Structure 1
Amino acid sequence: MSDAVAGTDDGDGAAPLEIEVPADPLAGHPATAYFWGHVAGSGDVSDDGIDVVTTDEESAQVLAAVAGGDLAHDTTTREYAHDTSITRTEDEYTLSIGAERGDGNAEVDDDESNLLGRSGALGLPVDGRGNYRFGAFSSHDRELLRGLLEGCGTVCFKSSSGTVGISFVHDDRELLAAIQELLEDCPANAPYGELGETSSGGYWFGVDDDAAPEFGSWLYADCEETGLFAPSRRRKLERSLEQADAYDE
């Protein structure tokens, strides 16, 4: 059974979008696929809880609607993964889901002390040990990949070639290998390059530039209907595609 949870206002005065979420946060569903993609891409999972970070406020609110938890806002300055000599300052929203899901009192029922209904991180799709069990979301690959892109991906316009670049960057090589397998199985044409090392000590790979427009368009095709997306990331993709089209002209 699914519940409808209020989402975020789109800024034009319209009523907030209703985000449909399943009663079980581990069930195969578009909302859970999107959530766990974000957790794998930019989250930290332990027996003490889950922390997942995003730079998009509306996306953070959607993630909270899916799994609960507390949101905190901060401003951070970080290095670019591909060039540590360049930094950027941006808003950062952290969703924290604690192992204790009670009302904050010292005494909580055993059923309320588990992490998303599990006794520890081991039973979760992402357990902090390099194990990614995305099989439950195989029918929702678009939302899963969208969450992964927004969690650990980059989108840019390459002025030198007039193309759009889509890449995935993470410290965990195994996660990137899992993303590559998802790309191979997705209905959009998304060939990709070999894994490489970043200057910050992590790993990355990119979707082929020629395939980026098709893959990016497919990735965000139904996002307005579900509300499962980061508006700032979609705008970045749309602007990049427009720049590439203008370059060709």
Structure 2
Amino acid sequence: MSDAQSSADGDALEVSVPSDPLAGHAATAYFWGHVAGSGDVSDDRIEVVANDEASAGVLAAVAGGDLERETTTRDYAHDTSITRTEDEYVLTIDADDGESGLLGRSGALGLPVDGRGNYRFGAFAGHERELLRGLLEGCGTVCFKSSSGTVGISFVHDDRDLLAFARELIADCPVDAPTGDLSETSSGGYWFGVDDAAAPDFGTWLYEDCEETGLFAPSRRRKLERSLEQADAYDE
């Protein structure tokens, strides 16, 4: 294994990553969760987008590639009349010019992706929390709902099957966290949310002990912590 340096909340952390980015490991589970949530895999390229510079650095440490910062404006998934502009960090991993191909494989089918573009996560059994954390940071949202004084955690993606898989991961996690049904968004994708009453316990479990591995987006964790604090103040 090799160690990579990552910055979280201003502190340098050592992130342990395996030599094989397809090995069953917490870091690879986090990476492929991100790829599934906000990435694209083809025969000669992997491209994944992160909103947090530190987590983008971790993704690059796991699988290599070129990292670029971009500013993007896009529609809000639940209401296309609202747009938001934010910095994004795009990691691009191209196939090698030699015979090793993409991450040492000859094509996308050698990666945890099947012929229809669906993801296969069996290699990451035992690292479901990191996989789910990568998915949340790739295609999820965390917010404070001022109308009800609760924390909202939801997942949004164009791939219905991927969201169904995320619901299964949540159902199997050690925290009781019921989820709503899959629904269509106004932008044509799908979404589901964790029940508001369960969101604090689920969010706390998801980021528990994450500093020990460095496999998290500091900005997302701060958003969760602020939302939890607002909810506690609302109850008072």
Band of TM-score, shorter chain: over 0.9
The match for 1:58 among 54, 60, 63 is 54
User: Structure 2: where are the runs of 5+ without partners?
Assistant: none
Once the two structures are superposed, what CA deviation does each residue of 1:19-73 show, in whole Å capped at 9, x if it has no partner?
Answer: 1001111111110000000000000000021000011111101100011000011
Aligned residues: 236
For 2:5, the equivalent position in structure 1 comes to: 6
1:109-152 CA-to-partner distances (Å, cap 9, x unmatched) read 313xx111111111211358342211111201110000000000
Q: Is this contact kept in 1: 2:153–2:199, CA < 8 A?
A: yes
Range with greater deviation from structure 2 (116-125 or 169-178): 116-125
SS of 2:215's equivalent in the other structure is: coil
Deviation at 1:10, TM superposition (A): 4.0
Selected match of 1:110 from 99, 105, 114? 99
CA RMSD after TM alignment: 1.3
Residue 208 of structure 1: aligned partner: 195
For residues 9 and 138 of structure 1, what CA distance do their matches in structure 2 show? 26
The percent identity for this pair of structures is: 78
User: Are the equivalent residues in 2 in contact too, given 1:130–1:172 (CA < 8 A)?
Assistant: no
1:149-200 CA-partner distances (Å, limit 9, x unpaired): 0000011111111111100000010100111111111112121000000000
Cα deviation for residue 8 of structure 1 reads 2.5
The 3-state SS of whatever aligns with 2:136 is helix
Shift in alpha-carbon separation, 1:233–1:9, aligned structure 2, 3 A: closer
Whole-angstrom distance in 1 between the partners of 2:75 and 2:98: 43
Change (3 A) 1:128 1:37: farther
Normalising by structure 1, we get a TM-score of 0.92
TM-score by length of 2: 0.97
Using the alignment, how far apart are the partners of 1:230 and 1:42 within structure 2? Answer: 14
SS of residue matched to 1:78: strand
**1 CA distance for matches of 2:74 and 2:205?**
30
Q: Quote the offset at 1:99 in angstroms.
A: 1.1
- The residue number in structure 1 matching 2:36 is 40
Alignment of structure 1 residues 1-249 onto 2, 5 Å: 2-8=1-7, 10-11=9-10, 14=11, 16-100=12-96, 108-111=97-100, 114-126=101-113, 129-249=116-236
Looking at secondary structure, tell me which structure has more strand per residue. Answer: 2
Q: Is the CA contact 2:73–2:86 (under 8 Å) kept in the aligned structure 1?
A: yes
Q: 1:230 is matched by which residue type in structure 2? A: A
Indicate conservation of the 8 Å contact 1:41/1:147, yes or no: yes
Take 1:131 and 1:242, find their aligned partners in 2: how far apart are those partners?
37
1:188 counterpart SS class: coil
Equivalent pair of 1:46/1:127 in contact (CA under 8 Å): no
